[in-house]
């Protein structure tokens, strides 16, 4: 099991955003402890990488088993740490993490298997090339607070299976989940220093993991665009590769032939679950004018039935906001929209007894437009702005009017038409008649366009992010004295190489025949001293 770090008396006080109650404490590491952890992770990596894949898979399978055996306790910890409902903690984090762990274990051999490359030319028939996947070494993972288990597990598990060691940092707001992940790794019995969880301030961890003298070999960060840019600039000093998932302002397009019941229910779940704190959740909705009124009527009715508050007996639908600062961001955007002419269609009142906790009322705004921050920036809260559009061409233009491009969705009774529309959205993940779900599907790559990030997680593409491709080319004629084009140079060599050009790309049969003769004349030089 990983050796715990020696820590001082400083602690992070962890509270439940939905109640304000203290739920635990997490010791804070010093910078020197973090540097020492990085050194020990680097020393442990060669032995971990040298283990047979089947042995690494056995270790990782125990993490899946831990999740299954402790599902209630882990869900409860997530719920209290983030403020979300336990149903959401189980469905979007514990269940999906178990599914992902199993998926990566079962597919790691295929992902890591050397891949043969087809010959690109007749000139190199004597060469055989393969791509091997090599671990980077030490992977740094900085995880966010909105899905403190579900997001990092899609990076921790592939990183370990690929043969890397991991330095992990979760957000200060969700330290109890970070400690739970640490406990899972310890229960799996991984060798010392293969996985280390650190509790350091965000700015400090970035500096330490990317110091020119001692840095990780690759950094994965999920969070805001401004912080992602800072980390990318720091990484540039040592050319450390980065993978960034930086959020979204995701559009939902509702066509005139959409299933209204499904579209309304989907908008509510993908836009409001986790109190809207999903980088890939619905934030803006564009509805065709032919169905705008019935869509809005149903949406208003459904939203006003939602129950919002602390989760005690699975008796609420919407939980709390994780941080007070995010509530201020939401309120600023809503105030800006209302001042510019937006109106409230529906709002869920917050029980006065919860007024001191981190709750923001579910809010649906209409009469919105793209002069408002709400429609142009990431909101990250239980607020939806809905616009009526004259046609789906306008919907596409509005959907693409954003500096972010993580996900988008199209809702229609015609799948082929919906796919055609969806592919025109400038976003990395498109779903048809659904939204956000693919983050829970381990096989589907996750990542965005524009300022939504760089790189991918999940699936084979995400697994590939944990390794570097190494090409190995072998020679089928090792007994040959030289390649055709090696020294010494002379006119015959030039003519023969030009003959190869004509043989492969000549315009006429005669030109190709002459090229063959000139090229064939070179073959004997391969075997002459």
In a domain, 115, yes or no: yes
> Is 23 inside a domain boundary?
no
- For residue 224, being part of any structural domain is answered with yes
- The two three-digit tokens of residue 162, written as one number: 């690929």
- The predicted-structure confidence for 66-125, as pLDDT tens digits, reads as follows 999 999 999 999 999 999 999 999 999 999 999 999 999 999 999 999 999 999 998 999
Q: What is the DSSP string of 48-114?
A: HHHS-HHHHHHHHHHHHHHHHHTHHHHHHHHHHHH---HHHHIIIIIHHHHHHHHHHHHHHHHHHS-
pLDDT at position 3: 38
**Whether residues 414 and 491 fall in one domain:** no
Q: What is the pLDDT of residue 312?
A: 83
Q: How far is CA 338 from the centre of its chain?
A: 33
Write the CB contacts of 307 (distance below 8 Å, at least 6 apart in sequence): 315, 316, 317, 318, 348
Burial 222-261 (b: 16+ CB within 10 A, else e): bbebebbebbbebbeeeebebbbbbbbbbbbbbbeebebe
For 404, the token pair is 């972010």
Is there a single domain that holds both residue 417 and residue 499?
A: no
pTM of this structure? 0.94
Q: Residue 267: inside a domain, yes or no?
A: yes
Q: What is the pLDDT of residue 9?
A: 54
My answer on whether 237 and 277 are in the same domain is: no
Neighbours of 363 (CB within 10 A): 22
183 and 50 in one domain? yes
CA 313 from centre of chain? 32
Same domain, 166 and 284: no
Q: Does one domain contain both 340 and 323?
A: yes
pLDDT for 7 equals: 40
**Banded pLDDT at 4 (limits 50, 70, 90):** very low
pLDDT at 356 over 80: no
Asked whether residue 18 is assigned to any structural domain, the reply reads: no
Per-residue pLDDT at 6 exceeds 50: no
Find the CATH number of the domain harbouring 323. Answer: 3.40.309.10
Indicate whether 143 and 206 sit together in one domain: yes
Q: For residue 203, what are the domain limits?
A: 31-246+461-470
Is position 366 within any domain? yes
Give residue 329's pLDDT. 95
Residue 160 has pLDDT above 60, yes or no: yes
Is 4 inside any structural domain? no
Catalytic residues, which ones? Answer: 245, 279
In contact, 290 and 257? CB cutoff 8 Å: no
Do 431 and 440 touch, CB atoms closer than 8 A?
no
CATH number at residue 225: 3.40.605.10
Residues 493 and 402 in one domain: no
Of 194, 186, 263, the residue nearest 44 (C-alpha): 194
The H-or-E segment that residue 363 falls in is: strand 363-366
Same domain, 177 and 38: yes
Going by their DSSP bridges, the two strands 115-117 and 127-135 should be labelled as antiparallel
Residue 193 sits in the same domain as residue 328:
no
What is the pLDDT at residue 313? 83
Q: Is 446 helix (H, G, I), strand (E, B) or coil?
A: strand
Q: Which residue has the tokens 């906790």?
A: 357
pLDDT digits (tens, 9 = 90+) for 186-230: 999 999 999 999 999 877 888 899 999 889 999 999 999 999 999
Number of folded domains that form the chain: 3
- Does 1 score more than 70 pLDDT? no
- Both 216 and 260 in one domain: the answer is no
Q: Is residue 3 in some structural domain?
A: no
Query: Is 11 exposed, middle or buried (CB count within 10 Å of its CB: 0-12, 13-18, 19+)?
Result: middle
Average pLDDT over the chain, rounded to whole? 95
Clarify whether residues 268 and 131 are in a common domain: no
Dist. CA 295–CA 283, nearest whole Å: 16
Q: What number is the average pLDDT over the span 232-236?
A: 96
pLDDT band at 280 (very low <50, low <70, confident <90, very high): very high
* Per-residue pLDDT reduced to its tens digit, 403-450: 999 999 999 999 999 999 999 999 999 999 999 999 999 999 999 999
Place of tokens 């030039």: 494
The pLDDT of residue 8 is above 50: no
């Amino acid at each position: 099991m990983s050796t715990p770090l020696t820590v001082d008396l400083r602690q992070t006080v962890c509270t439940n955003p939905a109640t304000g109650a203290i739920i635990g404490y997490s010791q804070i590491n010093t910078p020197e402890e973090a540097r020492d952890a990085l050194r020990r992770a680097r020393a442990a990596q060669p032995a971990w990488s040298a283990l047979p894949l089947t042995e690494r898979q056995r270790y990782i399978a125990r993490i899946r088993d831990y999740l299954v055996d402790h599902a209630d306790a882990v869900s409860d910890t997530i719920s209290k740490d983030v403020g979300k409902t336990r149903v959401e903690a189980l469905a979007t984090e514990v269940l999906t993490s178990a599914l992902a762990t199993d998926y990566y274990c079962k597919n790691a051999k295929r992902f890591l298997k050397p891949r043969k490359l087809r010959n690109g030319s007749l000139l190199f028939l004597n060469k055989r090339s393969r791509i091997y996947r090599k671990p980077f070494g030490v992977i740094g993972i900085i995880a966010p607070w909105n899905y403190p288990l579900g997001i990092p597990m899609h990076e921790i598990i592939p990183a370990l299976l690929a043969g890397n060691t991991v330095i992990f940092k979760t957000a200060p707001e969700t330290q109890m989940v970070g400690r739970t992940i640490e406990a899972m790794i310890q229960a799996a019995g991984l060798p010392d220093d293969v996985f280390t969880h650190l509790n350091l301030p965000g700015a400090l961890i970035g500096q330490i993991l990317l110091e020119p003298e001692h840095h990780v070999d690759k950094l994965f960060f999920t969070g805001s665009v401004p912080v992602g840019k800072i980390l990318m600039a720091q990484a540039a000093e040592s050319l450390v590769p980065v993978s960034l998932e930086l959020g979204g302002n995701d559009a939902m397009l509702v066509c005139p032939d959409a299933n209204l019941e499904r579209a309304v229910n989907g908008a509510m779940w993908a836009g409001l679950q986790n109190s809207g704190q999903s980088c890939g959740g619905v934030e803006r909705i564009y509805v065709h004018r032919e169905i705008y009124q019935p869509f809005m009527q149903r949406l208003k009715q459904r939203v006003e039935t939602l129950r919002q508050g602390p989760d005690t007996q699975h008796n609420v639908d919407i939980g709390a906001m994780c941080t007070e600062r995010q509530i201020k961001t939401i309120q600023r955007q809503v105030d800006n929209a209302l001042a510019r002419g937006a109106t409230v269609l529906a709002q869920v009142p917050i029980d006065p007894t919860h007024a001191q906790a981190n709750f923001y009322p579910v809010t649906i705004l209409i009469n919105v437009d793209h002069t408002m921050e709400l429609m142009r920036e990431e909101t990250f809260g239980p607020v939806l702005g809905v616009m009526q559009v004259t046609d789906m061409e306008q919907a596409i233009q509005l959907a693409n009017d954003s500096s972010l491009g993580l996900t988008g969705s199209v809702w229609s009774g015609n799948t082929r038409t919906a796919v055609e529309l969806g592919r025109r959205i400038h976003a990395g993940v498109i779903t048809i008649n659904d939204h956000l779900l693919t983050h829970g599907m381990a096989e589907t790559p996750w990542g965005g366009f524009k300022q939504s990030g760089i790189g991918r997680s999940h699936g084979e593409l995400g697994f590939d992010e944990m390794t570097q491709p190494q090409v190995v080319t072998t020679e089928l004629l090792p007994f040959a004295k030289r390649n055709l084009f090696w020294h010494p140079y002379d006119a015959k060599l030039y003519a023969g190489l030009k003959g190869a050009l004509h043989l492969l790309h000549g315009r006429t049969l005669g030109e190709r025949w002459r090229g063959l003769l000139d090229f064939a004349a070179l073959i004997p030089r391969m075997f002459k001293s």
